[in-house]
């Protein structure tokens, strides 16, 4: 399970780096915190991720993490 979470972490990180325009400008600790927090609240089921009671395709899970990351980045 740890290996799956690491793989999912890497997939989310890479997806965010491709979709967030100023990704490299966001604090690395904040990125790690946000992704890790989302992964703790999620469960992979087949090709979907159960997150906050919703069964989402991977790209929509990344979108939710992206919203959280950008929101937290604005707060800082």
* pLDDT given at position 3: 58
* pLDDT given at position 1: 41
Domains held by the chain: number: 1
Class of residue 31 by CB neighbours under 10 A (exposed 0-12, middle 13-18, buried 19+): buried
Q: Identify the helix (H) or strand (E) that includes residue 55.
A: strand 54-57
**Nearest in space to 42 (alpha carbons), one of 27, 58, 29, 31:** 58
pLDDT tens-digit profile, the chain (76 residues): 455 666 899 999 999 999 999 999 999 999 999 999 999 999 999 889 999 999 999 999 999 999 999 999 988 7
Residue burial 2-15, b: 16+ Cβ < 10 Å; e: rest: eeeeeebeeebbeb
pTM of structure: 0.83
**Residue 56: which domain range?**
2-75
């Amino acid at each position: 399970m740890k290996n799956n979470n690491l793989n999912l972490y890497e997939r989310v990180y890479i997806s965010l780096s491709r979709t967030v325009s100023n990704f490299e400008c966001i604090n690395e600790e904040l990125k790690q915190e946000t992704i890790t927090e989302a992964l703790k609240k999620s469960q992979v089921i087949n090709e979907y991720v159960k997150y906050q009671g919703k069964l989402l395709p991977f790209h929509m899970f990344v979108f939710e993490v992206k919203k959280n990351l950008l929101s937290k980045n604005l707060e800082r």
